[in-house]
Structure 1
Amino acid sequence: MRRFSRWSSKWWPGTIPLVILWAVAAWSSTAPLETDLAARAGAALKDTVLDKTKIAVAGRDVTFSADAFSEDGRLSAVASVEAVPGVRLVNDDTRLVPEAKPFTWSAERDVVRVTLGGSAPLPAVKGRLLEAARGSLNGVEVVDRMSLARGAPPRFDAAAQLMIEQIGKLKDGKITLSDAQVSLSGMARDLGGREAIAAALKNLPEGFSVAANEIKAPPYIFQAYKDPVAQTLTLTGYVPDNTVHAAVVAAAGRKFFNEKVVDNLKASVGAPAGFSTAVIPALGALSRLSTGTLVISDREVKLSGDAFYEAAAAQIRAALTKDLPRGWQGKPEIPVKPAAAPVDATVCQQLFSDLLGKAKIRFEPGRAVIDPDSAGLLDRLTETAMRCPAANVEIAGHTDSGGDDGFNQALSEKRAQAVADYLIQAGLPAERFRAIGYGSLQPLAGNDTDEGKAQNRRIEFLVR
């Protein structure tokens, strides 16, 4: 008995290396088989549409898990794995992707990024939407918060692609597809963006419709800045079309006699009703300021700057509201510039001559009614007269030789008096001004051409 115990205690330790060798042999023969089987099972699924696919092999048994997008697709995928040569058993852990009711997808834009959210029906569709967003948004960050779900309406892919094109036209906002209903909100990036989006919505795929379109247009801005140092009038912003553009620039050239017009205007849709009726009188008000800024935003007109004298400031404030179309709002901020230093009569005459050498006081044809385009020039003449408190001024009216001499004489007198009345209404003493008409007796040029006649029709200021 003791002899057997001693023998047994000697042989069993020798079995340990044998067990290890057997395990290594088994593993070395099984591991490549499992790897090969997993690879062939994966290859069998290459034409199936699945998400979160996982294959684990133990011997010849395969555990297969995945999210499928239809019951037929799920069953077909399981059958494909079962048909792989060498597979003994498939442990089926597949399931269907959840169904979304309603099926909702969205694209939302803020200042720095676009976020795609909601559901996409397939991984490939999700990828295409991300690629389209990144390609059309010029480097804007695109954040993917889409999940996969069943239940997308027919032609979802085309509808979502179209909406991605529209999100690029927004400054901020959100576009949502809920089943086949489209809802949009936010602010268009550019003028005309709202209209462009509305036009694009007419191309929605069959079955889709617009539930709500609350896209707003950005403010329609027109600006004009009068710089007396650079002697420029700079126009920026928008006008409705090329016809209005030309009319605005031409009006500015008539009203701003001493400034070069710098035209940076662009034609764009979206102008508020009455734009053309509002902008030209507002430019006339700006022309009467020493320096100033005009900002038209939608139907609001802001005018700020210094008037040459108190009466002009009051007139400009009143006219800005009165001359605007119905529904428009004027916001004038018009102080009076500090009075300039007085000058003697000789300097005063030179200042009058310089001003009237740059522009002429205009009147309605055949009448003594001063053209509103001359208001800026008259205010400068008035300011100059205020700097010469001791000077008496003759205001001389002249006509061309066309028509009856008596009529021309009377017209020249009335026009001279109309100018004198303008200065007197500004607060200057009436006794300082003498209005005289010379008719056609003192021409500057020949009356045989239109150019010559235009030179002869004039008002002169003569310091006496």
Structure 2
Amino acid sequence: MQRAWVIQFAGLAAILLLLAFALPRYAQMVPEKIADHVQHHLHEKGMTWAGVRPAPGHSRSVLLNGSAPDAEAQQAAVNDLRSLWYIQQVQDTTTPKIIEPYTLHIQWDGDKLALDGYVSSAEDKAEIAEQIRSEFGNNADLEKLQAGLGAPEYWETLIHTVLLKEIKPLPSASVRMVGHTINFAGKVATTQKAEALSKALRPIEEKDYHLAVNIIPLDIIEPYTLHIQWDGDKLALDGYVSNADTKAKLVEQIKSAFGDNAHLEKLQTGSGTPKHWETLISTVLLEAIKPLQSASVRMVDQTLSFAGKTDTTRQAKALEKALQPFAAKGYATSVNVIALDNAAVVCQREFNRLLTQETIVFSTGGAGIHQESNALLQELADAAIFCAGTTILISGHTDDVGNEEDNFKLSEQRAKAVKGWLFRQGGVPLERMKTSGKGASEPLADNDTEAGRAKNRRIEFVVEGI
């Protein structure tokens, strides 16, 4: 009997000892299991930012932590946990996530609007979405528009009252907002509308934002050109000036200086005028052209090509000096002035320069001129026209490959082909040109190498009487 009592007592002691060790561990496991379950529950609801761990002091209390994307998400997580029957208390230690950098990209193609970035809250997002539906219709992509904390001051105000309002009438626009910087790029129908848009965007800078604007008028002329032709009697202008008022003033100046013998039908107005364009035309070019025998002027954007003839070398030098304001205003200038008292020498120098830089290309074994040589031939024709009164000898040369007689014939045929081109397409009078075929009789290099033979296959221009 006594032995049985001892055994029972020992068993009871063992059970009590086991409970003493197990209960604290079990008590610790219950809150951990609850926290794990709650964490899984939040993640299933898409709140992957949220973390949950047991709160000290109570097995059914949890501590919510993490970086919430916005205040609405933070409150939604707290409310969700409080709705669970097995949670007695929620301690919220979450911190709102601040978006850095805070951005928004607005893209508009004249038909569809897309927003990608952030506004302060779900309420702001709803208001912007409502405004967009009202002004742009349902053809808008707002899937990437999110709510997030950290918006700079006046962020939504500028979107509502300036950006969306000014984008609507444009053919296209792209706006990038990054912190206190806004880059606005867009296209408008006219230069006048571009100026009005720039003015409408000024409230952005008044709110201490840095604004970069790139507005392209669709009526802008590219490249911006003007061609002036003067033959000593008649003046012709073909190209652009900025507006009707400028054109009227220029026409009045031309009539006063050159009389009524001027062709201005092709003078037009268009946006995109380079700086100092009209000033240089009225104060430099027209003044410089008037006393010349002839002149041809091409202005392309900020590039000036001026070719003209004067009576004397002194006048030519004075003209070059008179055109210096173009270079001073940032224009790239090319001036070719021929003095008639030195025309032959200047003309020969120009022929040599052109034919040293490039070679007239013919068909293999024939006299057909390749189209790639048309630009060179036109430059040769322009030079020939400006040294009027001279006779030009065009001579053809070959390498020593093949029959000598055939080479003489081929060189003569090629010289005549060049003469024909200069007459038919370049406007050089036939009586001012002679041709000869030299074959391989006047080589410039050794015919033993391909490089030497290539150099010997050539056309030469010689101005007679120098």
Normalising by the smaller structure, the TM-score range is 0.3 to 0.5
TM-score by length of 2: 0.38
TM-score by length of 1: 0.38
